[in-house]
Structure 1
């Protein structure tokens, strides 16, 4: 038994296909199939039901998979620790990020990080907060980027940056600023339930059930782009993170309102699960991302 055999099992489970798993692991399908078969013989257990389409784990295979995830994660952590001694950032790193952060953060950090660490292979996955946390615990992700605080005692976070939120919308002609307290009486379009930013905005702005939408319309979006279109159509309002505003054209920039009084911001953090943590990656990514993003936030503030 060796680590590669366990990695092949994890890949087959992930892709539900021996051919796709072989491509992912950069080996031939014959090699991967033979190694998995050899492992099954060594364990005297059938791990995969090959007659199913797509391929699925057997009941015994599910138990083996849990142990395989733990062994591979600990092996990767051991390798990462040895590389950290030499201050190297390299290898494959799986990053989960929630969609409401990914669209504005990725264009800022991806190119500089890849250029700085040419031996690094990044796998980026856009997932919901709940799925991200689940994947961290299962060792399917190395780090996550999400909005905090989160309701979890076993996941650890380190703050990357505080990002101001701005109101986009329409007021009476001549008004370009709004008080936070006024938002509760406005027609506010929000992301759909399940997005942490939605819950934070409702709490921050003390929003009740939105009674200002048309009575025959119930619409909640997964994207900021859709929210903008709804606001433009119905002359309502929404709240957008500062980095996202960089994507707006000049006409839409004119509809960004100044928030008078108390400002609103969201906390963006890097998240990891200690048993599987790649400490050098966690530490260096935290420093790099914070530096890159805060440079843009300072520019926008000028």
Structure 2
């Protein structure tokens, strides 16, 4: 017994005619007739008496059709509930973001999102990429903001923007006086401050220029120092402890005077920030609204991806 078979007998009961019923159900008359015959054989009863001009509903058929109408009505209610769930604009949205994105994007994103979806509470978490990936897969998070590449099974991603990297250099450092872009090659003999292991931004910087991880000078002084956050590294650079590479959105007017900010030359000194969610996540409308809010944000140093 299928919903289609129930739909067919309800249509025949209404139209009192097999051909007209098939037209209302958008199927051929043989398809409808065969389905109803199959249902009658499965139940071991006759629902309709077939006549040349019309059909008669048998007494047992009347009872079956009444229940069929109730079942179809209930099935429509299920569809409506599912649709409401997909378009729910009141249930909370659990979002995650990597440490090197969250402090610089979320303060602008949250008010913009609340303009579009004022009744949707946001639950926010900052974490490492691998932790966010696990929580996304388990359903603890609905959507995450991170940088590509991000290759996870059953996860959909959409690129949001390209973000260039910048060199930050103490004001009294000789490299601060260089006009134009800074070559990554020029950093090879400098003390470079990087984020600790586990940060995807660190891995991206090291992938671009692996020589930054050379640990010692000829005098055995450590050349690569690690910081726990961009904020820590920011003030270490300002104090003259070394130079570093930052994503451009993490730099602002407050940094003017703290250190020199330089563009980097060469290819690859950038990252792509993306949105990721489970392919099975049903609330597609709220995802669309979330992306719309991100698109409305003015991140002046980034390049949007169409």
TM-score bucket (shorter structure): 0.5 to 0.7
Question: Match of 1:52?
Answer: none
Cα-to-partner distance string for 1:152-200 (whole Å, 9 max, x where unaligned): 2332211111111100014416324411332333221100000000000
User: Is 1:278 aligned with 2:280?
Assistant: no
Aligned counterparts of 1:103 and 1:198: Cα–Cα separation in 2: 17
Shift of 1:247: 5.7
Task: Check whether the contact 1:80–1:279 (CA below 8 A) recurs between aligned residues.
Answer: no
| Structure 1 CA distance for aligned equivalents of residues 268 and 245 of structure 2 | 12
User: Which of 203, 206, 222 in structure 2 is aligned with 1:202?
Assistant: 206
1:135 positional shift: 0.8
Q: 2:178 aligns with which of 172, 175, 179?
A: 175
Deviations, residues 61-120 of structure 1 (Å, cap 9, x unaligned): xxxxxxxxxxxxxxxxx96743656xx633210001111111101111111211322111
TM-score, normalised on structure 1?
A: 0.64
Q: TM-score, normalised by structure 2?
A: 0.63
From 207, 213, 220, the equivalent of 2:226 is 220
- Structure 2, unmatched stretches of 5+, are 1-79
Partner residue of 1:239 out of 238, 245, 251: 245
Instruction: Determine helix, strand or coil for the equivalent of 1:276.
Output: coil
The equivalent of 2:84 in structure 1 is: 82
Tell me, in whole angstroms, the C-alpha distance in 2 between the residues paired with 1:298 and 1:178. Answer: 19
- After the TM superposition, which residues 1-302 of structure 1 pair with which residues of structure 2 at under 5 Å, given as runs? 81-82=83-84, 89-170=89-170, 171-172=173-174, 174-176=177-179, 177-207=181-211, 208-211=213-216, 215=221, 219-246=225-252, 248-252=254-258, 254-262=259-267, 264-294=269-299, 296-297=300-301
Deviation by residue 1:21-54 (Cα, 9 ceiling, x = unmatched)? xxxxxxxxxxxxxxxxxxxxxxxxxxxxxxxxxx
How far did 1:219 drift?
Answer: 4.7
Q: Note closer, same or farther for the CA distance 1:273–1:235 as it changes in structure 2 (3 Å cut).
A: same
Residue in 1 aligned with 2:68?
A: none
| CA displacement at 1:262 relative to structure 2 | 3.5
Rg larger in 1 or in 2?
2
Tell me by how many angstroms 1:277 deviates: 4.5
Greater helix content: 1
> Number of matched residues?
219
Q: CA deviation at 1:284?
A: 2.4
Cα 1:159–1:218, aligned 2, differ >3 Å: closer, same or farther? Answer: closer
CA contact (8 A) 2:145 2:274 kept: yes
Instruction: Report the RMSD for the aligned CA atoms in angstroms.
Output: 2.9
Measured in 2, the distance between the counterparts of 1:153 and 1:263 equals 26
User: Counterpart of 1:6?
Assistant: none
Query: Contact between 2:183 and 2:266, CA under 8 Å: does it hold in 1?
Result: yes
